[in-house]
A and B are shown apart, each in its own frame.
Chain A
Amino acid sequence: MTVPPDTAVRPWARAAVGRVPTPPAGPARRQRRPVTLIAAGCLVAALLALPLAFLLIEAVGSGTAQVAQLTFRGLTAQLLWNTVKLTVVVTALCAVIGTAAAWCVERTSLPGRRAWEVLIVVPLAIPDFVVSFGWSSLWTWVQGFRGAVVVLTLAVYPLVYLPVAASFRAADPGQEEVARSLGVGRARTFVRITLAQARGAILGGCLLVAMVMLAEYGAFEILGYQTFTTEIFSEFSLSFSVPAASALSLVLVLLGLIVLAGEGLARGKGKVSRSGPLAARKLAPHRLGKATVPVLAGFAALTALALGVPVGSAVYWIFEGGAHALAGVTLPTAAVTTAGYGVAAAALDTVLALPLALLAVRHSGRAHHLLERSTYLVLAMPGVVAAFALSYFTEHYLGGIGYQSAPLLILCYAIMFFPLALVGVKASLARAPVSLDEVARSLGQRRLAVLVRVTLRLAAPGLAAAFCLVFLSVVTELTATLLLIPTGAQTLATQFWAYESNLSYGQAAPFALAMIVIAAVPSYVLGRFFNRSAQAERMIIT
């Protein structure tokens, strides 16, 4: 046994006399900042700022007088009303449907939840323009505002469902039990605890929906509903009026800013934190009881409308149009091309999202927050703007090298869908506690090793989800693809569009089905994979 050093007993004079603060010996040492992360984050943000830079350069180039003239006219007001009206209605509908579906699947005794888990998400794999093709080619009333609300809601509600379901899975179950114990009823617990826990996810999903509404082109074109984006597309690619399109795009970016700010305000400063058990505990699902049948009916109806109608319509047109001989030639080639672009862009985005997500989650600060937020702006920009921006840059600074090449198109996709990847990566990183990183470092692991062996492993489900989201979006992307696709190549979307514009529905339909299949496969496989590993963990207990 060792003897404590004699010197250790210090008379506590200072406590009695009053404390005299001793100044530090030298200037306070600086805490190490995550320099590598910040540098990488800035690079990514700069890359994503390219479209905005293009817009500003164009606007400045054409002079303020012309910009003002192009901006303040009757057309702009009409487009503004159309766009805002649709965005608000669709976002609200998606929030309700997405959250309700997520809660039923994750937290109740819904029969067949494994199947619903997949069926509910699959509509995301169906391009918006295919959904509108499906509806409007069958029923003529699906036009204009009414048609746009129906079609777009059914096409994009999974953007709310996915993050909210993930948040329900990760939420601390104890809080609901505590609320009930404090005499708060079922319904009020749902509002005050369950929804509050998922608030960030719901708002994040709504943000995505609103931004997609601002940027959508193909579906509105088919439905004959005029928004900023459709107008910009025609100004850009039909009238070749770059200044006019730039001016309208600036208004659109402003709208995007307003949505972002609104989401930021609604989110507030509250942070959802987990306290309590050392490891996650499963909550017993709520019994649906008598509500089982109505809820099941609701799920069936949702699936029929969001999945059944577009798929059924495509199948109908294949038989009705009899187009096998004509379409069979390019379908496999187009499918391979599409999948290749999708994988490349999704991988690129997942990697690009990491530094910004790490900064946002692990080193939160005003500057890092702004840096991360800035990247959401690209969602407010139509794909056509990103595509033009990249061709503009290759033309002016690279002497045309890379224009209409596969890498440029992939980069364009990566820029456009970056926010999707960021949301997923951030959410998953937030679930990997910092204390685990610290333990790993204390065990002799370097930062990079900790990232690979702990942080990314824990974030893996979220990373895979982010990858999937980007992949699905690329497969279903139309506008930028039309402009940047390498000469001679065709993706499923461009080939579909060519036939659809030509009213050759029978020949367009196989491409629509192929897109659905190619985008649905990864989500199904991933769903299966995660369920299995979760089951395996549960098996060990018994």
Chain B
Amino acid sequence: MTQLTVTGVSKAYGGRRVLDGVDLEVPENSLTAILGPSGSGKTTLLRVIAGFEQADSGTVRLGGLVVDGPATHVPPESRRIGYVPQEGSLFPHLTVAANIGFGLPRRERRSRGKAVADLLDAVGMTALGHRYPHQLSGGQQQRVALARALAVKPGIVLLDEPFGSLDAGLRAAIRADVRRLLAAAGATAILVTHDQDEALSTADQVAVLRDGVIAQYAAPDELYNRPADPAVARFIGEANLIDGILADGCVDTVLGPLPVRADARSGLAPGPVTVLLRPEQIEIGERNGSRGLAGRIVSLGFHGHDAVVHVEPEQQPGTEQQPGTEQQPGTEQQPGTEQLNTGQLNTGQPGTGAIIVRTLGGCGLPAGSAVTLRARGPVPAWPRLTTL
């Protein structure tokens, strides 16, 4: 069942469109992330759902009821939402227990009340019920803020970048806690974030919001492996966007022929296309006459579990001829771009033209080494974009 339905919601501030026809459906008992760069309108969308802002057009339905529409605007206090703002925003004049009990009917508010005690227990703060917010750490404050939101048994919980102010280690722990608490409460939740890792690792599905519209709404794995367009691909994780020529379900690229994913073939005409190669789809090897794209390592980033290598391709006589180059009808052929007109268009590293490769445990080669690259399909592909 759908808990939240947003249909065609638009919102402008002083002539500037912040939301431009947003559609979103959030199923019950799931955690949906709204992911977007800053200024994409994600917080505005959350505030429209919460009722702090009113949409200019479009409708918002919560649990089947219209709460924001042409003729209705249900105030926030009547929407049965749980709201966890960026900074937690605990009431500084109330104890932890009183904060959690704030939204409860009068007789249940006392800290000895069962509802409050249960929530204190759930967030692991039974002993701290009598403390005041300024006596808590950032992580504890966020836990209390979540408990306070859950106390009123909301139809939907709205989390506005709740982990932004926490340090990385704590963030992961609190994130897991929040997942667990939301699941235990059987709550439907929306998480607004600009952090791709956070969205992909925490949410059941992710809505990518950009320039006021939902660019794609999908499960994390689908979003990563089958982005709706190159721009989303680039936004979700690291991406090599490479030009090639499609023929017979296979794309000729600088990295050799790559099969196109079956689900990406429909509607794709043979001819110039752009494909997505994730860094882990590329293999790197020392150059010793083996087939593949010749290049040099320009930089290395070691991350422990893996290493990210940036490789600058080289025009090398004797290695495999770059397909696609000669067939290209002069669209982006310009003097001085000889090396890159091989068709590789890399937006993961704007300006450098390097290809990003991820290797487990590192490739064992220093920067400057001559290497060859080979890629594995299948890959998603889109009609070639002239500009991006």
Contact = CB atoms under 8 A, between A and B. Distances in A.
User: Do these two chains really belong together in a complex?
Assistant: yes
Given A2-B204, A29-B57, A12 B229 contact: yes
B216 interface: yes
B89 A435 contact: yes
**A interface, by DSSP: helix, strand, loop or mixed?**
loop
A205 to B, nearest CB: 26
Given A28-B56, A29-B55, A442 B82 contact: yes
Contacts of B217: 4-5, 8-10
B318 interface: no
B56 A24 contact: yes
B218 A4 contact: yes
B87 A435 contact: yes
B219 interface: yes
A438 B76 contact: yes
A319 B381 CA distance: 102
A445 B88 CA distance: 18
A61 B204 CA distance: 77
A279 B29 contact: no
Nearest to A30: B54
Given A12-B215, A24-B56, A31-B54, A436 B77 contact: no
Interface stretch (A14-22, A37-45, A382-390): A14-22
A21 B20 contact: yes
A207 to B, nearest CB: 29
A22 B91 contact: no
A439 B211 contact: no
Contacts of B133: 278-279
Nearest to B134: A279
A65 B323 CA distance: 97
Contacts of A281: 134
A10 B228 contact: yes
B77 A279 contact: no
B204 A32 contact: no
Nearest to A440: B102
Contacts of A284: none
A537 B12 contact: no
A444 interface: yes
A278 B217 CA distance: 33
A182 interface: no
Nearest to A436: B89
A25 B57 contact: yes
B67 interface: no
B186 to A, nearest CB: 13
Interface in A383-439: 433, 435-436, 438-439
A199 B156 CA distance: 43
Contacts of B148: 439, 443
Interface size class of chain B, counting residues whose CB lies under 8 Å from the partner chain? 35 or more
A445 B79 CA distance: 11
A141 to B, nearest CB: 51
Given A29-B56, A279-B141, A442-B81, A15 B75 contact: no
A438 B215 contact: no
Interface string B135-174: 1101001000100110110000010000001000000000
B152 A279 contact: no
Interface in A444-492: 444-447, 450, 453-454, 457-458
B54 A32 contact: yes
B231 A279 contact: no
Contacts of B73: 29, 32
Contact of B103 (A1, A12, A445): A445
Interface size class of chain A, counting residues whose CB lies under 8 Å from the partner chain? 35 or more
Nearest to B267: A11
A453 B80 CA distance: 19
Nearest to A6: B218
Contacts of B92: 279-280, 458
Nearest to B86: A435
A441 interface: yes
A380 to B, nearest CB: 36
A279 B51 CA distance: 26
Given A446-B77, A540-B131, A278 B138 contact: yes
B25 interface: yes
B35 to A, nearest CB: 13
Contacts of B228: 9-12
Contact of A444 (B54, B80, B135): B80
A440 B89 CA distance: 10
A455 B33 CA distance: 32
Interface in B33-71: 50-58, 70
A278 B88 contact: yes
A480 B92 CA distance: 42
B89 A439 contact: yes
Interface in A492-542: 537, 540-541
Contacts of A279: 90, 92, 132-134, 136, 141
Which one of B78, B80, B102 has the highest number of Cβ atoms from chain A below 10 Å of its Cβ? Answer: B102
Contacts of B51: 441-442
A270 interface: no
A3 interface: yes
Given A278-B165, A279-B134, A458-B93, A441 B76 contact: yes
A9 B152 contact: no
Contacts of A24: 10, 56-57
B125 interface: no
A26 interface: yes
B241 interface: no
Contact of A442 (B76, B130, B232): B76
B27 interface: yes
Contact of B141 (A278, A439, A541): A278
B216 A438 contact: no
Contacts of B138: 278
Given A4-B217, A457-B93, A435 B211 contact: no
B377 interface: no
B385 interface: yes
A278 B87 contact: yes
A442 B211 contact: no
Given A4-B218, A439-B148, 6 more contacts: A8-B218, A22-B21, A280-B134, A438-B52, A438-B85, A441-B51
The 5 A-B residue pairs whose C-beta atoms are closest, nearest first, are A443-B103, A279-B134, A8-B217, A442-B83, A24-B57
27 contacts: A2-B28, A2-B29, A4-B27, A4-B205, A4-B219, A8-B25, A8-B205, A8-B207, A8-B214, A8-B216, A10-B228, A12-B232, A15-B215, A15-B229, A19-B20, A25-B57, A28-B12, A32-B54, A279-B134, A435-B87, A436-B89, A438-B52, A442-B82, A443-B82, A444-B77, A444-B78, A445-B102
